Structure 1
Amino acid sequence: MTEDAVFTHLQAMSANLHAQQIHSCKVSAPQQLPWGRSYRVVEWTLKHDPESRRRAVPAEYTATEIAELVISHVPGRRFCQQTEQA
């Protein structure tokens, strides 16, 4: 599994508006914890947003499944540290 395969699937889904906005996509090598299943970390960026999004997926996910996950991703809450005003 390579990042190129996932990105190719994303480009093939160009009918989806969100897929057209994907700028880059990185997929890590499988990671194994001492407990539970092995996983990969998927990180992607959008064309007009400097922040990256990340998600852990089971290591056995195919490139197509990862591409579908990236397209269907809904960002979660963002917690920002409030600054004190004097």
Structure 2
Amino acid sequence: MVEDTVFEHLRAMPGHDWVRQIQSCTVSDPLQPPWGRSYRLVEWTMKHTPDSCRRVVPAESTPLEIAQAVVSHIPGRRFCQQSDS
């Protein structure tokens, strides 16, 4: 599977100790919107953080390119749903 190969590339990357904290990583099948190019959604979680991170990559990305996108990710805005209490 793509996820397994991405994990192998992530673990082989030197100098990225935080990569060992990745608990799960999923890569969607290619998605084709009504306009624009097709893409894959990459989602991963860290061991001690309840939130997941997501990144969109081009559908033709190789597992190595996906791993590089995960490593280069910079967290942005967080959107949380308000609970109705």
Normalising by structure 1, report the TM-score.
Answer: 0.83
The corresponding residue for 1:77 is 77
Alpha-carbon spacing, 1:33–1:82, altered in 2? closer, same or farther (3 Å): closer
For 1:29, the equivalent position in structure 2 comes to: 29
Q: State how far apart, in whole Å, the 2-side matches of 1:82 and 1:38 are.
A: 32
Q: In the alignment, which residue of structure 1 is the partner of 2:40?
A: 40
Provide the rounded CA distance (Å) in 2 between the counterparts of 1:74 and 1:46: 14
In the superposition, relative to structure 1, how do residues 35 and 17 fare at CA in structure 2: closer, same or farther (>3 Å)? same
Q: Distance in 2 between matches of 1:19 and 1:10?
A: 7
Are residues 1:64 and 2:64 paired? Answer: yes
Moved runs in structure 1, 4+ residues, more than 6 A? Answer: none
Is contact 1:27–1:41 with CA below 8 Å preserved after alignment? yes
Q: Which structure 1 segments of 5+ residues have no match? A: none
In structure 2, C-alpha distance between the alignment counterparts of 1:41 and 1:30, rounded to whole Å: 8
**Residue 53 of structure 1: CA displacement?**
0.7
**Alignment gaps of 5+ in structure 2:** none
CA distance in 1, matches of 2:5, 2:77: 29
TM-score (norm 2): 0.84
Q: Give the whole-Å Cα distance in 1 for the aligned partners of 2:37 and 2:74.
A: 24
CA RMSD of aligned residues (A): 1.9
**What's the % identity of the aligned pairs?**
64
Q: Which one has the largest radius of gyration? A: 1
CA contact (8 A) 1:11 1:19 kept: yes
